[in-house]
Structure 1
């Protein structure tokens, strides 16, 4: 690639907080880190925010590259090929020396210096393409309004281009499935019936993918596949709809598939996605109580979720860690009340169940370093987690532990996450070919007709 084709990527601070080693992702192109970004990383690394660790990792990565370079070499750009497979360079740009042309509010002084620096580099490197890379949508808008020609999001961590392409964990065939199949090889293995079919009957099948049809007679799950054939485990539509856990029965086929996956001891990770009111939390809690109390398959239930600004605010709440977590886990307590609303004494039942099932409410910030054995773990609202945060939870799970991740990609609260960059999207794509995981999109709102109408029309 000649110099005219090499691009110059200027990284915003949020890129290095989202992916601390993003500097190695630009291969043959050149990367520029404005001095303002280093200042912001310096402030964040000593803070109590959960991104302080990412800031320190980014700083150490930069120090490893620049530790023996002269100021002139740092300004001109250091080759990074000795640290990675990249052929480009990385430089630090003193943006505070650039004459200010973009003016805005005083509290956005850092953003202003970065924008002024990009405008200067755009002229300095012309006709080469200078691209500002930021996850801040408003920063991208401001940059374009200020005259920056090329602005983009960080896409190296995006496994899909559009959330509509995200696998739903099941495939529905038109009409009757067996009409299109004709003959197949079937055999009994224990209590299960397995069918072996040609792979060309299916559109990109994967292990533990559910298969249903419009006739409401056929339901199966992909057991295994090779280059020519797919082996299905016959479940049956009626059997799915008659699944039950803690007195809860599926209200639709999607809930039936979710309950089947959560009650299967051979599946270690179940990922539930879908709109608000589709039943993700209540199904997960019912499956957890059934397997912990009735079947004694696990010793305890651990419930955790992302807690925005928890590092600053949790310490000021009264009580133990569990009591501090209660405001963020009200959805779980609401679910417990719904499961026991017909009991003679709902409060008494809940206290008994909490003690009997050894239900623990834990902060996600305190999960690092733990090893969770023989537990049913529910990670709720995980659309607001990054891939690295979800990895922290998954890698905590030891022998005999089942993890259920649930979330709604339409309810992302994080400033720097979108449906395609959410950790929930990441694990759906990464784990879809793992034999120990299943993913189900719960289509349809069953909470109430009011919630259903709101989901469809608002």
Structure 2
């Protein structure tokens, strides 16, 4: 089938998904020369996206490497990765030739967006047989392109699993009334200290593995197994859940209790804790981690990592070792450690004790690739600022005896390339909802302070 569309790709699309060239099916793709220049500029920077830029450059090179002179501007067939589906062609357009053309946006070394838009406008006017579509993740660029006269502008959504973040599973579900009054038949089995109930699947439609359930009475349970006719529940004692304490921290509500239970559960390898600022994500995760490392001795260390985009202007290079450079970015860990020990006679000594005995290590994402982390708890802070590709890189570092905990708030994305729908945090919540080795908990309510709660609700 001949291509009916020509997709002009912005730089941020290739950075967001370096393998996107294989996702446009039989349609053709155009990469303006300006995009290659931007990728070349980014690939040597000490930033997370530098790796994505290098991967994108190699992906383009794999396609055009053997092309003859003149073929690249006309289009090179994109080889199918599976060998079955026929893909379109890839062309590289010399958009610098369009400089100062009448009717186009002003060009310049600092206006790369305009060069890419001008490329799309030129192709739209010269290729009447194709529908030219500019693909960019930059909202302002989409507005500029439409204002300049481009007929079709789209966001890149090939990796978007949801159309609305409100559709994300919360990881816990309230059942109205008394759950047991609706149960006609149940099979109960005890295994050590655990009690399991097998109930009809019709009672709990659309539940997920490891989803927590509770009713208006005293019932609380976690979905352990889903079969065609039956669902197996792990019975949880609500009073015991609420009274549990880790490193002096106890839950203030049921979602926090569920989060602590999932983190402490040795059968779960991955926990996702998301919620508003001040809902207790980092505090719960850190308290449970210290409990498992120092008191229970289930792990040897706590590895803390996060993305490092600045909220305001960058303050430049920081001196010292890797851990010293990461300290400003991981001040939230220190803040929570201080909050845990604020009642101690010597709180600073207690904080140093927790860091040393818990063997807390701060690691940059730039240096986590290629590692295999053994017998450790890995806290992935500010996970909402990571792409699906970056989160995959971190999760695949999980070695024998390790546990991963992702913490994030989709309302506080600082990355220029992500939205709540395309964030890696959204991606893993949706992808892992049926994985028996993971649990996702959305924390509700702001417990940090009255001011924080009001600001979260009204700003």
* Bin for the TM-score computed over the shorter chain: over 0.9
Q: Give the drift of 1:83.
A: 4.6
- The reply to whether residue 46 of structure 1 matches residue 40 of structure 2 is no
1:111 alignment partner in structure 2 = 113
Q: Give the drift of 1:357.
A: 1.3
Deviates more, 1:300-309 or 1:138-147: 300-309
Where 1:111 maps in the other structure, the secondary structure is helix
2:91 alignment partner in structure 1 = 91
4+ aligned runs moved over 6 Å, structure 1: 312-315
Q: Give the drift of 1:219.
A: 0.8
- The reply to whether residue 172 of structure 1 matches residue 170 of structure 2 is no
TM-score, structure 1 as length reference:
0.94
Q: CA RMSD in A?
A: 2.0
Q: Summarize the Cα distance change of 1:48–1:450 in structure 2 as closer, same or farther, 3 Å threshold.
A: closer
The answer as to whether partners of 2:105 and 2:148 remain within 8 angstroms in 1 is: no
2:126 alignment partner in structure 1 = 124
Q: Summarize the Cα distance change of 1:220–1:176 in structure 2 as closer, same or farther, 3 Å threshold.
A: same
Q: Give the drift of 1:315.
A: 8.6
Distance, in Å, in 2 between the alignment partners of 1:151 and 1:443 is 37
The answer as to whether partners of 1:377 and 1:403 remain within 8 angstroms in 2 is: yes
Distance, in Å, in 1 between the alignment partners of 2:149 and 2:12 is 21
Distance, in Å, in 2 between the alignment partners of 1:365 and 1:82 is 31
Of 200, 210, 213, the match for 2:212: 210
2:319 alignment partner in structure 1 = 318
Distance, in Å, in 2 between the alignment partners of 1:425 and 1:255 is 20
The answer as to whether partners of 2:307 and 2:386 remain within 8 angstroms in 1 is: yes
1:340 alignment partner in structure 2 = 341
Where 1:158 maps in the other structure, the secondary structure is coil
Q: Give the drift of 1:313.
A: 7.5
Within 5 Å, give how 1:9-158 maps onto structure 2.
Answer: 9-84=7-82, 85-98=85-98, 99-104=101-106, 106=108, 108-126=110-128, 128-158=130-160
Within 5 Å, give how 1:390-409 maps onto structure 2.
Answer: 390-409=391-410
Distance, in Å, in 2 between the alignment partners of 1:124 and 1:173 is 60
Q: Summarize the Cα distance change of 1:274–1:150 in structure 2 as closer, same or farther, 3 Å threshold.
A: same
Distance, in Å, in 2 between the alignment partners of 1:109 and 1:447 is 43
Q: Summarize the Cα distance change of 1:402–1:448 in structure 2 as closer, same or farther, 3 Å threshold.
A: same
Distance, in Å, in 1 between the alignment partners of 2:316 and 2:373 is 24
The answer as to whether partners of 2:63 and 2:79 remain within 8 angstroms in 1 is: no
Distance, in Å, in 2 between the alignment partners of 1:446 and 1:387 is 29
Q: How big is each residue's C-alpha offset from its partner over 1:51-80, in whole Å with a ceiling of 9 and x where there is no partner? A: 222222212211221122223332222222
Unmatched segments (≥5 aa) in structure 2: none
Q: Give the drift of 1:112.
A: 1.4
Unmatched segments (≥5 aa) in structure 1: none
Within 5 Å, give how 1:260-279 maps onto structure 2.
Answer: 260-279=261-280
Distance, in Å, in 2 between the alignment partners of 1:390 and 1:218 is 35
Within 5 Å, give how 1:309-388 maps onto structure 2.
Answer: 316-388=317-389
